[in-house]
Amino acid sequence: MAVLYIACAAIGGTILLLQFLMTLIGLGGDALDIDLPDDVDTDIDVGVDTDFDTDADVDGGDHHVNSSWLFGVISFRTIIAALAFFGIAGLGGQSAGLHPFQTLLLATACGVAAMYAVYWIMEMIKSLQSDGTARVGLAVGAHGSVYVTVPAKETGLGKIQVELQERTVELAALTEGNALAPGNRIVVTEFVDSETVKVAPLE
Protein backbone atom coordinates (compact mmCIF):
# COMPACT_ATOMS: atom_id res chain seq x y z
CA MET A 1 0.00 0.00 0.00
CA ALA A 2 2.91 2.33 0.60
CA VAL A 3 3.72 2.35 -3.11
CA LEU A 4 0.09 3.19 -3.92
CA TYR A 5 0.03 6.09 -1.46
CA ILE A 6 3.34 7.44 -2.77
CA ALA A 7 2.15 7.21 -6.38
CA CYS A 8 -1.16 8.95 -5.60
CA ALA A 9 0.54 11.72 -3.62
CA ALA A 10 3.20 12.24 -6.30
CA ILE A 11 0.84 12.26 -9.30
CA GLY A 12 -1.94 14.24 -7.66
CA GLY A 13 0.44 16.68 -5.98
CA THR A 14 2.35 17.32 -9.20
CA ILE A 15 -0.79 18.08 -11.21
CA LEU A 16 -2.17 20.29 -8.44
CA LEU A 17 1.11 22.23 -8.44
CA LEU A 18 0.94 22.60 -12.23
CA GLN A 19 -2.62 23.92 -11.98
CA PHE A 20 -1.54 26.41 -9.32
CA LEU A 21 1.39 27.62 -11.43
CA MET A 22 -0.84 27.96 -14.50
CA THR A 23 -3.24 30.06 -12.43
CA LEU A 24 -0.38 32.33 -11.34
CA ILE A 25 0.68 32.97 -14.95
CA GLY A 26 -2.89 33.68 -15.99
CA LEU A 27 -3.95 30.44 -17.68
CA GLY A 28 -6.30 29.54 -14.86
CA GLY A 29 -5.57 25.83 -15.11
CA ASP A 30 -8.66 25.34 -17.29
CA ALA A 31 -6.63 23.40 -19.83
CA LEU A 32 -6.25 20.66 -17.23
CA ASP A 33 -9.88 20.61 -16.18
CA ILE A 34 -12.29 18.12 -17.76
CA ASP A 35 -15.95 18.13 -16.75
CA LEU A 36 -18.52 15.60 -17.85
CA PRO A 37 -20.79 17.04 -20.57
CA ASP A 38 -24.21 18.18 -19.50
CA ASP A 39 -25.97 16.03 -22.09
CA VAL A 40 -24.66 12.73 -20.67
CA ASP A 41 -27.59 10.72 -19.38
CA THR A 42 -26.61 9.80 -15.83
CA ASP A 43 -29.85 8.06 -14.90
CA ILE A 44 -29.16 4.36 -14.41
CA ASP A 45 -31.85 1.82 -15.19
CA VAL A 46 -31.29 -1.82 -14.30
CA GLY A 47 -33.60 -4.28 -16.01
CA VAL A 48 -33.73 -7.71 -14.30
CA ASP A 49 -37.05 -9.27 -15.34
CA THR A 50 -38.84 -7.13 -12.74
CA ASP A 51 -37.95 -3.89 -14.60
CA PHE A 52 -36.21 -2.50 -11.54
CA ASP A 53 -35.34 1.21 -11.69
CA THR A 54 -32.78 3.00 -9.54
CA ASP A 55 -35.23 5.87 -9.03
CA ALA A 56 -36.98 5.09 -5.74
CA ASP A 57 -39.75 6.77 -3.78
CA VAL A 58 -39.01 7.54 -0.15
CA ASP A 59 -41.92 7.32 2.32
CA GLY A 60 -44.40 7.64 -0.53
CA GLY A 61 -43.06 11.09 -1.42
CA ASP A 62 -41.65 12.47 -4.63
CA HIS A 63 -38.00 12.22 -3.58
CA HIS A 64 -35.92 10.25 -6.06
CA VAL A 65 -32.48 8.73 -5.81
CA ASN A 66 -30.65 10.02 -8.84
CA SER A 67 -27.02 9.40 -9.72
CA SER A 68 -26.64 12.73 -11.53
CA TRP A 69 -25.64 14.57 -8.34
CA LEU A 70 -22.50 12.44 -8.12
CA PHE A 71 -21.47 13.22 -11.69
CA GLY A 72 -21.90 16.92 -10.93
CA VAL A 73 -19.12 16.64 -8.34
CA ILE A 74 -16.72 14.61 -10.47
CA SER A 75 -14.30 16.54 -12.66
CA PHE A 76 -10.62 16.27 -13.45
CA ARG A 77 -9.86 18.91 -10.83
CA THR A 78 -11.77 17.20 -8.01
CA ILE A 79 -10.40 13.76 -8.87
CA ILE A 80 -6.82 15.05 -8.78
CA ALA A 81 -7.43 16.70 -5.40
CA ALA A 82 -8.89 13.45 -4.06
CA LEU A 83 -5.93 11.48 -5.42
CA ALA A 84 -3.36 13.81 -3.85
CA PHE A 85 -4.96 13.89 -0.41
CA PHE A 86 -5.64 10.15 -0.48
CA GLY A 87 -1.91 9.58 -0.93
CA ILE A 88 -0.81 12.20 1.60
CA ALA A 89 -3.24 10.94 4.28
CA GLY A 90 -2.22 7.34 3.60
CA LEU A 91 1.44 8.15 4.06
CA GLY A 92 0.60 10.10 7.21
CA GLY A 93 -1.37 7.19 8.63
CA GLN A 94 1.47 4.77 7.95
CA SER A 95 3.98 7.14 9.55
CA ALA A 96 1.75 7.33 12.64
CA GLY A 97 1.75 3.54 12.90
CA LEU A 98 -1.97 3.04 12.26
CA HIS A 99 -3.37 -0.33 11.28
CA PRO A 100 -3.44 -0.73 7.46
CA PHE A 101 -7.25 -0.82 7.46
CA GLN A 102 -7.45 2.33 9.58
CA THR A 103 -4.93 4.00 7.28
CA LEU A 104 -7.03 3.10 4.24
CA LEU A 105 -10.17 4.50 5.87
CA LEU A 106 -8.35 7.71 6.79
CA ALA A 107 -6.93 8.10 3.29
CA THR A 108 -10.32 7.48 1.69
CA ALA A 109 -12.07 9.95 3.98
CA CYS A 110 -9.47 12.63 3.27
CA GLY A 111 -9.70 11.99 -0.48
CA VAL A 112 -13.50 12.32 -0.49
CA ALA A 113 -13.32 15.44 1.70
CA ALA A 114 -10.78 17.02 -0.66
CA MET A 115 -13.00 16.23 -3.66
CA TYR A 116 -16.01 17.92 -2.09
CA ALA A 117 -13.93 20.86 -0.84
CA VAL A 118 -12.64 21.60 -4.36
CA TYR A 119 -16.15 21.18 -5.78
CA TRP A 120 -17.55 23.61 -3.18
CA ILE A 121 -14.81 26.17 -3.92
CA MET A 122 -15.48 25.98 -7.67
CA GLU A 123 -19.23 26.39 -7.07
CA MET A 124 -18.55 29.45 -4.89
CA ILE A 125 -16.43 30.97 -7.67
CA LYS A 126 -19.21 30.33 -10.20
CA SER A 127 -21.80 31.92 -7.91
CA LEU A 128 -19.61 35.00 -7.46
CA GLN A 129 -19.30 35.30 -11.24
CA SER A 130 -23.08 34.98 -11.57
CA ASP A 131 -23.60 37.65 -8.92
CA GLY A 132 -21.25 39.95 -10.82
CA THR A 133 -23.19 39.40 -14.04
CA ALA A 134 -26.47 40.12 -12.31
CA ARG A 135 -25.12 43.37 -10.85
CA VAL A 136 -23.91 44.60 -14.24
CA GLY A 137 -27.33 43.78 -15.66
CA LEU A 138 -28.76 46.35 -13.23
CA ALA A 139 -26.77 49.04 -15.05
CA VAL A 140 -29.27 49.13 -17.94
CA GLY A 141 -30.92 52.55 -17.87
CA ALA A 142 -28.19 54.06 -15.68
CA HIS A 143 -26.54 57.36 -16.64
CA GLY A 144 -22.79 57.86 -16.70
CA SER A 145 -19.92 59.38 -18.60
CA VAL A 146 -17.34 58.21 -21.12
CA TYR A 147 -13.92 57.51 -19.63
CA VAL A 148 -12.11 56.20 -22.74
CA THR A 149 -13.41 56.97 -26.25
CA VAL A 150 -16.09 54.55 -27.41
CA PRO A 151 -15.56 53.88 -31.16
CA ALA A 152 -18.47 54.32 -33.58
CA LYS A 153 -20.64 51.54 -35.04
CA GLU A 154 -19.49 48.89 -32.52
CA THR A 155 -16.02 48.80 -34.11
CA GLY A 156 -14.25 48.64 -30.77
CA LEU A 157 -14.53 48.95 -27.02
CA GLY A 158 -14.30 52.08 -24.96
CA LYS A 159 -14.80 52.58 -21.25
CA ILE A 160 -17.48 54.31 -19.24
CA GLN A 161 -18.14 55.09 -15.61
CA VAL A 162 -21.60 54.65 -14.09
CA GLU A 163 -23.08 54.67 -10.62
CA LEU A 164 -24.08 51.12 -9.75
CA GLN A 165 -25.28 50.03 -6.32
CA GLU A 166 -24.02 53.22 -4.67
CA ARG A 167 -20.51 53.06 -6.13
CA THR A 168 -18.79 54.14 -9.32
CA VAL A 169 -18.12 51.24 -11.66
CA GLU A 170 -15.94 51.19 -14.77
CA LEU A 171 -17.27 49.06 -17.64
CA ALA A 172 -16.28 48.30 -21.21
CA ALA A 173 -18.74 49.83 -23.67
CA LEU A 174 -19.96 49.62 -27.27
CA THR A 175 -22.16 52.05 -29.16
CA GLU A 176 -24.22 51.64 -32.32
CA GLY A 177 -24.01 55.32 -33.25
CA ASN A 178 -21.24 57.86 -33.61
CA ALA A 179 -18.08 57.76 -31.51
CA LEU A 180 -18.39 59.01 -27.95
CA ALA A 181 -15.57 61.16 -26.61
CA PRO A 182 -14.32 61.25 -23.02
CA GLY A 183 -16.62 63.31 -20.86
CA ASN A 184 -19.73 62.72 -22.97
CA ARG A 185 -22.80 61.82 -20.95
CA ILE A 186 -24.30 58.43 -21.81
CA VAL A 187 -27.10 56.06 -20.87
CA VAL A 188 -26.65 52.30 -20.71
CA THR A 189 -29.06 50.69 -23.21
CA GLU A 190 -28.16 47.01 -23.19
CA PHE A 191 -26.30 44.37 -21.19
CA VAL A 192 -23.67 42.45 -23.22
CA ASP A 193 -21.73 40.41 -20.66
CA SER A 194 -20.37 40.63 -17.12
CA GLU A 195 -17.97 43.44 -18.11
CA THR A 196 -19.50 45.04 -21.21
CA VAL A 197 -22.59 47.11 -21.99
CA LYS A 198 -24.01 49.04 -24.92
CA VAL A 199 -24.50 52.78 -24.51
CA ALA A 200 -26.06 55.72 -26.31
CA PRO A 201 -25.53 59.48 -25.91
CA LEU A 202 -27.72 61.00 -23.21
CA GLU A 203 -30.04 63.51 -24.81
Domain at 157, CATH number? 2.40.50.140
pLDDT digits (tens, 9 = 90+) for 26-69: 554 444 444 444 444 434 343 334 343 434 444 444 444 444 55
Does residue 82 sit in the same domain as residue 107? Answer: yes
Does residue 159 sit in the same domain as residue 94? Answer: no
Query: DSSP assignment, residue 169?
Result: E
Domain membership flag for residue 47: no
CB 34 within 8 A of CB 24: no
Does residue 172 sit in the same domain as residue 188? Answer: yes
Does residue 130 sit in the same domain as residue 170? Answer: no
187 closest CA partner among 167, 201, 174, 166 = 201
Query: pLDDT value at position 8?
Result: 86
pLDDT digits (tens, 9 = 90+) for 151-184: 999 888 999 988 877 778 888 899 998 999 999 9
Give the C-alpha distances (Å, rounded to integers) separating 183 from 47, 60, 112, 146, 173: 70, 65, 55, 5, 14
148 or 22, greater pLDDT: 148
Does residue 118 sit in the same domain as residue 27? Answer: yes
Does residue 154 sit in the same domain as residue 192? Answer: yes
Instruction: Compute the distance between CA of residue 49 and CA of residue 69 in angstroms, rounded to an integer.
Output: 27
Query: DSSP assignment, residue 75?
Result: B
CB 190 within 8 A of CB 154: no
Domain membership flag for residue 170: yes
Residue 19 gets the label, from left (phi > 0), alpha (psi -120 to 50) or beta, of: alpha
Instruction: Compute the distance between CA of residue 21 and CA of residue 196 in angstroms, rounded to an integer.
Output: 29
Query: pLDDT value at position 27?
Result: 52
Does residue 122 sit in the same domain as residue 145? Answer: no
Does residue 170 sit in the same domain as residue 106? Answer: no
Does residue 131 sit in the same domain as residue 107? Answer: yes
Choosing from 135, 151, 171, the residue where a domain stops is 135
Quote the domain boundaries for residue 130.
2-35+75-135
Query: pLDDT value at position 31?
Result: 44
Instruction: Compute the distance between CA of residue 74 and CA of residue 26 in angstroms, rounded to an integer.
Output: 24
Alpha helices per DSSP H over 25-99: 68-73, 76-95
SS3 of 118-139: HHHHHHHHHHHHHHHHHHHHCC
Does residue 129 sit in the same domain as residue 112? Answer: yes
Instruction: Compute the distance between CA of residue 120 and CA of residue 65 in angstroms, rounded to an integer.
Output: 21
Instruction: Compute the distance between CA of residue 126 and CA of residue 186 in angstroms, rounded to an integer.
Output: 31
Instruction: Compute the distance between CA of residue 164 and CA of residue 102 in angstroms, rounded to an integer.
Output: 55
User: Hey, which residues does 171 pair with through a beta bridge?
Assistant: 160
Does residue 81 sit in the same domain as residue 121? Answer: yes
Does residue 113 sit in the same domain as residue 148? Answer: no
Q: Based on the structure, what is the number of domains in the chain?
A: 2
